[in-house]
Copies of this chain bind each other. A is one copy, B any other.
């Protein structure tokens, strides 16, 4: 028997649109059709018609030629997908021994599995984690999320001691790069110097007395003050 998705729930495709819209909405309310196209790697007309579809389902607010935004219903639906994604990533790292650079691809698929049982059990087995392996907060069962208030390392000045708490993005390449520098979440870091020319930072942490990171990298290292 073909296990068919209930008709009242979003298809896998619709879920990916909602999630992309949700990610693009952090820090702003409205999103362009073109931003969505780029994020999802589909054409503009494809997004256009999907947006109309999502509008009829009450998941997005949209008027011709205007930018779009999620409705409350859409926001919650998206947050619940993000919840499944992040719980999965954390489970893969914590309970299955995967590296933080390996889990996104798998979570991208598992996030569409329809089974509260599965994800609630993951949650329970991990004792209800608050963040995923990249430091991003995990929405609760109701789709509520506590936005973290970490700041990019690039904002601080020489001498400051901080702790790496999260990442601005978590592409596989970036994560592998951090692995190669032995930099992981929770690491305490001191800013040794800042190059005025290009904003690159020389950092000291653990058994790395002096490692240089570009400004771009430092903007994606989200930290909290220490001491």
Q: Which A residues are within 8 Å of any B CB, using their own CB? A: 1-3, 13, 16, 39-42, 92, 95-98, 102, 105-106, 108-110, 113-115, 117-118, 121-122, 125
Contact = CB atoms under 8 A, between A and B. Distances in A.
Contacts of A42: 2
A101 B117 CA distance: 13
Contacts of A2: 13, 16, 40-42
A98 B121 contact: yes
A41 B121 contact: no
A109 to B, nearest CB: 5
Contacts of A97: 121, 125
Given A2-B13, A40-B2, A121-B96, A109 B105 contact: no
Nearest to A38: B1
A39 B121 contact: no
Contacts of A125: 96-97
A126 to B, nearest CB: 11
Nearest to A91: B96
Contacts of A95: 95
17 contacts: A1-B39, A1-B40, A2-B42, A3-B16, A3-B108, A3-B109, A92-B118, A96-B122, A97-B125, A102-B117, A105-B115, A106-B113, A106-B117, A106-B118, A109-B113, A109-B114, A110-B110
Contacts of A115: 105-106, 109
Contacts of A121: 96-98
Contacts of A40: 1-2
Given A3-B16, A3-B108, A95-B95, 16 more contacts: A2-B13, A92-B118, A96-B122, A96-B125, A97-B125, A98-B117, A98-B121, A102-B117, A105-B115, A106-B113, A106-B115, A106-B117, A109-B113, A109-B114, A109-B115, A110-B113
A125 B102 CA distance: 17
Nearest to A17: B2
Contacts of A106: 113, 115, 117-118
